[in-house]
């Protein structure tokens, strides 16, 4: 098997590219409004079906950070990294039941709009600017970096050539607006799921060939159980395992995934509820639909989240066993750079050993995940900038056509900035960790602001602002003074402190009175239909079984 893609691989990818581009153009011409409607461009208001909403949530969520970054952490840590996907599915249920009714019944379309309506314009503007920086310099940049890195390993083209290609492809999809993104995401998710499952199947077969007798996939699974037992635990204890840190040394696995404490202190809940419930590029898919359709879409996404460990974790485990057994020089040399073990190289190097044709399918699946996620995030960047900054401070009288046109310019500018910055991420040892650590500086404060804003009528703007500022400052202090303290536990500690400060400031400032801009909350908003309840119980059962088996 050779490195790089063959003609058949490129042909398969070309077919994928033509199908997605043609379908996107057809959606743009036939399902879009004849007039340039900004709500249609940013939200696809009322036009996305439940399956399109669910597919679009997953397409935006699952990207190079999972395929490359999470597979890298599966190589590094093992199955424990699945917690991000499994708890993500459970968190989506909570968002569907409790968060969506608050957004939809209060006509909230952007996260800064929620802050302005519930608190004040000052907090809304500060957080809008902050979210723009976070989405561009952490999310968009990391996806371009990991995507470029993976395509470089697969094709042999330079990193920057691959990064530019992904950026241009994503720009084409994004400029069509949320409706084009939402419906093309259905194709992207089909490619992502089936291409990803095919890659996992072949990776396990490859493991069987290289380390075992060549008996096939089940032997590959057994080899993981036999030779990577330390990688098959969902819960770690301090100083239990030392793993490669991606910088030439080792790190305690507990620091990355701190066992049961991340649930008790709440760090994993903070991480997931903030990501899925207070995140523009996730919630945006459901905010243009009615509550029943939105909930069905989110439930569909929750089921697909439970499938993700099979797609993104098992290949990393297969690569780990092959690497540890020194069973293939291509994998060993590809994962090791200048004597340093680079976990992020595991997935793209593994793909190079797939058969011709199937490598093209895997290439298409990976590209689909990257491009769909880039498109969703870029649309959210444009939405926040146009609706919460530009139309408020620079030109309040923009026509619908001008709003959409300016939004498209913002999309292009955001991509250019992220493309320029992306090579700098090579200085970080493990990219998925980079995303989680730096997002974790703000997640505790944001979740505190949203939860208290939703359900506590005494919460004030100054209390919320205190939580937002304290979240960043306190996170930085703990990281500086206690670098060995697991960042996931740090998020939980910071969340509870921020919430306490938020409550204290609000009680002092508001003198214990309900705020005039507090949201109305009705019990019937949180009732769910029977099919949703059954589906939710199945998701929770899957989560429980995995932890019971792999504790």
Domains and CATH numbers, the chain: 7-26+42-427+540-550 (1.20.1730.10)
pLDDT at 398 over 90: no
SS (H, E, C) 83-105: HHHHHHHHHHHHHHHHHHHHHHH
CA nearest neighbour of 44 among 102, 128, 109, 139: 109
Burial 492-517 (b: 16+ CB within 10 A, else e): bbbbebbbebbbebbeeebeeeebee
pLDDT at 435 over 50: yes
pLDDT at 45 over 60: no
pLDDT at 203 over 70: yes
- What's the pLDDT at 190? 77
CA distance 440 to 490: 8
CA distance 476 to 303: 35
pLDDT higher for 263 or 288? 263
Confidence of residue 505 (pLDDT cuts 50, 70, 90): very high
Q: Which of 385-394, 434-443, 507-516 has the lowest mean pLDDT?
A: 434-443
pLDDT higher for 543 or 60? 543
Mean pLDDT taken over the chain:
83
Under 8 Å CB-to-CB from 150, ≥6 apart: which residues?
Answer: 64, 67, 68, 347, 348, 351, 366, 370
Q: Which of 28-37, 90-99, 277-286, 537-546 has the lowest mean pLDDT?
A: 28-37
Q: Which two tokens stand for residue 123?
A: 């907090």
Confidence of residue 296 (pLDDT cuts 50, 70, 90): very high
Q: Which two tokens stand for residue 551?
A: 């504790």
- What's the pLDDT at 486? 85
- What's the pLDDT at 392? 81
CA distance 414 to 367: 20
- What's the pLDDT at 384? 84
CA distance 286 to 104: 9
- What's the pLDDT at 35? 43
pLDDT at 386 over 80: yes
Q: How far is CA 177 from CA 37, 49, 143, 369, 377, in A?
A: 10, 16, 20, 18, 12
- What's the pLDDT at 124? 86
Q: At CA 57, angle to CA 51 and CA 63, rounded to 5?
A: 125
Region of 49 please: left (phi>0), alpha (psi -120 to 50) or beta.
Answer: beta
Under 8 Å CB-to-CB from 129, ≥6 apart: which residues?
Answer: 389
Tell me the pLDDT tens digit for each residue of 4-15: 678 888 888 888
pLDDT at 527 over 50: yes
- Contact criterion met (CB below 8 Å) for 101 and 286: no
User: Which sign, positive or negative, has the C-alpha torsion 40, 46, 52, 57?
Assistant: positive
pLDDT higher for 484 or 478? 478
Tell me the pLDDT tens digit for each residue of 83-118: 889 999 999 999 999 999 998 888 887 788 888 889
- What's the pLDDT at 474? 94
CA distance 203 to 316: 9
CA trace torsion 53, 58, 60, 63 (10° rounding): -160
| Bridging pattern class, strands 340-341 and 336-337 | antiparallel
Confidence of residue 1 (pLDDT cuts 50, 70, 90): very low
pLDDT at 341 over 50: yes
Q: Which of 243-257, 368-382, 426-440 has the lowest mean pLDDT?
A: 426-440
Per the listing, tokens 């589906």 go with 535
- What's the pLDDT at 43? 57
Number of Cβ within 10 Å of residue 4's Cβ equals 12
Q: Which of 60-69, 134-143, 466-475 has the lowest mean pLDDT?
A: 60-69
**What is the pLDDT averaged over residues 531-547?**
94
Confidence of residue 429 (pLDDT cuts 50, 70, 90): low
Confidence of residue 39 (pLDDT cuts 50, 70, 90): low
3-state secondary structure of 336: strand
pLDDT higher for 273 or 70? 273
- What's the pLDDT at 55? 81
């Amino acid at each position: 098997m050779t490195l790089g893609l063959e003609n058949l691989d490129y042909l398969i990818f070309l077919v994928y590219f033509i199908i997605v581009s043609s379908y996107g153009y057809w959606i743009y011409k036939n399902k879009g409004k004849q007039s340039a409607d900004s709500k249609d461009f940013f939200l696809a208001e009322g036009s996305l079906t439940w399956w399109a909403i669910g597919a679009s949530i997953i397409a935006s969520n699952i990207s190079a950070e999972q395929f490359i970054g999470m597979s890298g952490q599966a190589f590094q840590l093992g199955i424990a990294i699945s917690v991000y996907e499994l708890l993500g599915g459970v968190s989506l249920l909570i968002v569907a039941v409790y968060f969506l009714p608050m957004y939809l019944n209060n006509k909230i379309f952007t996260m800064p709009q929620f802050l302005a309506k519930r608190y004040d314009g000052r907090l809304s503007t500060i957080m809008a600017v902050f979210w723009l920086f976070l989405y561009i310099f952490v999310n968009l940049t990391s996806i371009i970096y990991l995507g470029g890195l993976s395509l470089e390993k697969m094709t042999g083209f330079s990193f920057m050539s691959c990064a530019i290609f992904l950026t241009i492809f994503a720009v084409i999809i994004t400029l069509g607006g949320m409706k084009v993104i939402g419906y093309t995401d259905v194709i992207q998710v089909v490619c992502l799921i089936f291409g990803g499952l095919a890659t996992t199947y072949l990776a396990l077969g490859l493991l069987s060939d290289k380390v075992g007798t060549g008996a096939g996939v089940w032997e590959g699974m057994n080899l993981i159980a036999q030779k990577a037992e330390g990688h098959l635990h969902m819960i770690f204890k301090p100083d239990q395992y030392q793993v490669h840190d991606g910088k030439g040394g080792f790190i305690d696995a507990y620091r990355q995934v701190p066992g049961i404490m991340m649930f008790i202190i709440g760090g994993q809940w903070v991480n997931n509820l903030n990501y899925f419930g207070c995140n523009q590029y996730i919630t945006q898919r459901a905010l243009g639909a009615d509550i029943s359709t939105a909930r069905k879409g989110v439930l569909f996404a929750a089921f697909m989240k439970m499938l993700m460990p099979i797609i993104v974790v098992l290949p990393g485990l297969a690569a780990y066993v092959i690497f540890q057994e020194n069973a293939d020089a291509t994998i060993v040399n590809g994962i090791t750079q200048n004597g340093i073990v680079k976990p992020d190289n595991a997935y793209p190097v593994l793909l190079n050993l797939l058969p011709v044709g199937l490598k093209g399918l895997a290439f298409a699946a990976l590209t689909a995940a990257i491009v769909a996620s880039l498109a969703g995030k870029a649309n959210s960047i444009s939405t926040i900038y146009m609706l919460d900054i530009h139309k408020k401070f620079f030109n309040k009288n923009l026509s619908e056509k001008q709003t959409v046109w300016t939004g498209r310019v913002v999309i292009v500018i955001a991509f250019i900035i992220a493309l320029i910055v992306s090579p700098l991420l090579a200085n970080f040892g493990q990219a998925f960790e980079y995303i989680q650590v730096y997002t974790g500086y703000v997640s505790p404060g944001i979740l505190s602001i949203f939860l208290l804003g939703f359900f506590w009528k005494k919460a004030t703007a100054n209390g919320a602002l205190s939580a937002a500022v304290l979240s960043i400052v306190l996170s930085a202090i703990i990281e500086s003074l206690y670098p060995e303290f697991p960042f996931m536990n740090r998020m939980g500690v910071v969340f509870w402190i921020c919430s306490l400060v938020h409550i204290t400031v609000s009680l002092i400032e508001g003198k214990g009175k309900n705020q005039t801009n507090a949201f109305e909350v009705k019990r019937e908003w949180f009732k769910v239909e029977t099919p949703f309840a059954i589906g939710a119980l199945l998701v929770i059962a899957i989560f429980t079984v995995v932890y019971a088996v792999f504790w």
